[in-house]
Amino acid sequence: MTNGAEAMDTNFYEQVYEVARLVPKGRVTSYGSIAKALGVANSSRMVGHAMAYAGTASPKVPAHRIVNSSGLLTGRFHFSPPELMQELLEQEGVVVVNDKVKNFKKVFWDPLQEL
DNA sequence: AGCTTGACGAGCT
DNA sequence: GAGCTCGCCAAGC
């Protein structure tokens, strides 16, 4: 089998999606934490880029649960509509005020804690 | 092949 | 506490 379907096994992006999908409902995590969990703490930006591709990935990735280290919804404009990100978070019980997660420390989910 | 931009993070002023 | 700079690395032009 040439196994042709996936040309990307241990792709970095796949790993990001995997961790992102592990984020429990009502919780959020940061790009840097994911990057660090994957061993590329200094490449936090790559995580963000990967999330941008999340919309093209399958199954879909709960990118709305991913915020920056400040708990700010930096990528809300990548959703459609941009307000969707905050809506989804609030639907899951995450309070968002002024484009940032309320009680961020409480709803923060650390992948390293699970791994 | 090179320059610019960017879902970030940490440090400094 | 807010704003600015530098570093990292990939993708777009």
CATH of the domain at A78: 1.10.10.10
Could you read off the pLDDT of A49-89 as tens digits, one per residue? 999 999 888 889 999 999 999 999 999 999 999 999 999 99
Judged by C1' against the alpha carbon of A35, the nearest nucleotide is B8
Q: Which domain holds residue A83?
A: 12-109
Q: How many domains does the structure of chain A reveal?
A: 1
- Backbone φ, ψ for residue A20 (5° rounding): -60, -40
**Strand B proximity list, CB < 7 Å:** A 30-33, 44-49, 51-52, 54-55, 63-64, 66, 68-70, 74-75, 77-79, 85
- Residue A115 lies inside a defined structural domain of this protein: no
Could you read off the pLDDT of A35-47 as tens digits, one per residue? 999 988 888 999 9
- CA-CA-CA-CA dihedral for A52, A53, A55, A60, to nearest 10: -110
- Residue A5 lies inside a defined structural domain of this protein: no
